[in-house]
Amino acid sequence: MLLPIEIPSSVDQRVVPADWCEQLEAARLRIQAFQDRWDRPQIEQFVAADFYHVFQAMDWIRETQTLVGNRFLEWGCGFSVVTSIASALKFEAIGIEAESDLIQEGRVTLKNWQVTAELIHGNFLPDGADTLAHQSTLPSLGHPIESGYQQLGLELDDFSLVYSYPWPGEDRFHQAVFERFAAPGAMLLCFCGPNDLRLWRKAGSIDPLEIPMEGRRQRRRSRR
């Protein structure tokens, strides 16, 4: 079961530090230029979130929520702006993205912001997750690429906080995947549109001693 957690509306009053404002604005302009490019086909599934609001919510989560570990995952990381925010907030940050061009752009974001994160060109859906889809046409489905988890040597239940920006109508699917595959106590943050950030916790133990997620690093297989 996923338990909804209310993000207070006052979260949008949180001060975003001036250097962050500059970085977020620079990322916004880079994304705009990328989307306006005429020499290559558009990546239709890539739409950027309101990064100020996501920053404020992540900062609030960091401050107020008990997390079952320190590993963060962005599903479909695009320019890896949210992954970079997570890294700056001292998460062990990882982003998985299906489009190689976006992985390249994500690497530029990490470099510009001088943060460390792991970016994986792969599929964020765990094996078998497609059976949870209520429609076969959902945008997250049908990416014929290798599993991101396989490449990482991790599973979805190794992450304590997952962020996604589902396409309209797809939020239910993302929730169902998280509910099936995430660890008890882990949290899912979704950007569902302007002023619409939603947060859930998967029911179950949230005692970090019972879920030694950091210790699970040894489960990682060597990367190819």
CA–CA separation, 198 and 206 (whole Å): 19
Token digits of residue 131:
């059976």
**With respect to ligand SAM, which residue has the nearer C-beta, 46 or 185?**
46
**Is 160 a binder of ligand SAM (CB under 6 A)?**
no
Minimum Å gap between C-beta 146 and ligand SAM is 10
Minimum Å gap between C-beta 132 and ligand SAM is 13
**What number of other Cβ atoms are within 10 A of residue 41's Cβ?**
7
Residue 210 three-state SS = coil
Nearest-5° Cα angle at 43, 197 to 47? 15
**With respect to ligand SAM, which residue has the nearer C-beta, 84 or 160?**
84
> Following CA atoms 200, 176, 174, 20 in sequence, which dihedral angle do they give, to the nearest 10 degrees?
20
Footprint of ligand SAM on residues 84-143 (CB under 6 A)?
Answer: 96-99, 102, 123-125, 139-140, 143
Minimum Å gap between C-beta 206 and ligand SAM is 25
Q: Which residues bind ligand SAM (CB under 6 A)?
A: 45-49, 74, 76-78, 82, 96-99, 102, 123-125, 139-140, 143, 165, 191
